[in-house]
């Protein structure tokens, strides 16, 4: 691990700008000896900080970046100097472009996750939006992922975009790490829904100000309002530890 990290609660998060995080992720896709993990930490992950298996998997990853404003805030309080929001809904596009530039060809991409009626639309949108070859498309509701893992090994993608929701997608990756082909694994949460158009992005002003969560709550208050209310309490609980990490007290 060549980049600086800071402690955000129990998590080790890269102190990287958005552009630097994109390039660091893309570099992991070039001739990897085994699967390389690019995770993003958002408020849902912070809420799961007491899940020891999840924390262990996050801290074992090759790259963990700040997805939400709450993670950036805590990272800055802990001493981060360059940390910026790197949400997969934005960075996914740029990572795939950067992987293609580094490989000198269109990257081979596998998509796994979401409902069957969503993932196909997401794959078409991704292929239309960035130069890549989609080599595998699988939904995320398999009772047995054995055939999916076999298909991944056979298709040999450069990038696996995995959308099972956090913390499940990280735990799934850790559980099957030895069975995955050597590639970059990008966990993406709900990105497939945005690609397919079943969920809408927030206005640009809210996205750039770190307040995208307001628009997300407005779309799905029953599902997301409890998460963000819990997240506010989580952030407040983690502030003292962030300051102790920074000042050594």
Query: What's the confidence (pLDDT) of residue 209?
Result: 55
Burial of 204 (0-12, 13-18, 19+ CB in 10 A): exposed
pLDDT digits over 129-163, tens only?
Answer: 999 999 999 999 999 999 999 999 999 999 999 99
pLDDT digits over 62-77, tens only?
Answer: 999 999 889 999 999 9
Query: What's the confidence (pLDDT) of residue 221?
Result: 67
Residue 92 in any domain: the answer is: yes
Rounded Cα distance between 22 and 109, Å, is: 16
Q: Please state which of the ranges 26-40, 75-89, 144-158, 230-244 shows the lowest mean pLDDT.
A: 230-244
Residue 237 in any domain: the answer is: yes
Q: How far is CA 158 from CA 25, 35, 183, in A?
A: 12, 10, 5
Which stretches of the chain are assigned E, i.e. beta strand? 5-8, 11-14, 36-41, 63-66, 108-113, 133-138, 159-163, 184-187
What backbone torsions phi and psi does residue 100 show, to the nearest 5 degrees?
Answer: -60, -40
Residue 1 in any domain: the answer is: no
Residue 2 in any domain: the answer is: no
Q: Tell me which residue has tokens 């809420």.
A: 47
Dihedral, CA of residue 52, residue 53, residue 55 and residue 57, to nearest 10: 160
Confidence of residue 211 (pLDDT cuts 50, 70, 90): low
Structure tokens at 136: 């595998």
Residue 242 in any domain: the answer is: yes
103-110: average pLDDT: 98
If one counts the domains in the chain, the total is 1
Residue 136 in any domain: the answer is: yes
Rounded Cα distance between 195 and 154, Å, is: 26
Rounded Cα distance between 13 and 144, Å, is: 32
Query: What's the confidence (pLDDT) of residue 199?
Result: 75
Percentage of the chain with pLDDT > 70? Answer: 87
At 154 the three-state DSSP class reads helix
43, 82, 5: which is closest to 235 by C-alpha?
A: 43
Beta-carbon count within 10 A of 117 CB: 10
pLDDT exceeds 90 at position 114: yes
Q: Which domain holds residue 32?
A: 7-247
Structure tokens at 121: 């639309």
Residue 143 in any domain: the answer is: yes
Residue 87 in any domain: the answer is: yes
Q: Please give the mean pLDDT across all residues of the chain.
A: 91
At 39 the three-state DSSP class reads strand
Beta-carbon count within 10 A of 2 CB: 5
Instruction: Indicate the pairing of strand 5-8 with strand 36-41.
Output: unpaired
């Amino acid at each position: 691990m060549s980049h600086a990290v800071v402690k955000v609660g129990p998590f080790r998060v890269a102190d990287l700008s958005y552009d630097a995080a994109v390039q660091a992720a893309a570099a992991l896709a070039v001739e990897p000896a085994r699967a390389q993990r690019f995770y993003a930490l958002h408020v849902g992950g912070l809420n799961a900080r007491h899940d020891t298996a999840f924390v262990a998997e996050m801290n074992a990853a090759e790259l963990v970046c700040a997805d939400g404003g709450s993670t950036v805030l805590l990272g800055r309080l802990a001493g981060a100097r360059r940390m910026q929001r790197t949400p997969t809904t934005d960075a996914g596009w740029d990572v795939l472009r950067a992987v293609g530039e580094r490989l000198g060809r269109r990257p081979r991409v596998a998509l796994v996750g979401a409902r069957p009626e969503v993932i196909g639309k997401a794959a078409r949108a991704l292929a239309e939006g960035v130069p890549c070859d989609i080599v595998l498309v699988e939904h995320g509701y398999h009772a047995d992922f054995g055939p999916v893992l076999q298909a991944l090994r056979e298709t040999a993608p450069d990038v696996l975009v995995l959308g099972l929701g956090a913390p499940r997608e990280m735990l799934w990756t850790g559980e099957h790490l030895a069975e995955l082909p050597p590639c970059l694994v990008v966990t993406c949460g709900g990105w497939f829904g945005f690609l397919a158009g079943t969920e809408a992005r927030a206005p640009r002003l809210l996205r750039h100000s770190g307040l995208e969560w307001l628009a997300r709550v407005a779309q799905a208050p029953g599902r997301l309002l409890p998460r963000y209310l819990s997240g506010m309490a989580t952030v407040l609980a983690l502030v003292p530890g962030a300051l102790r990490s920074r000042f050594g007290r």
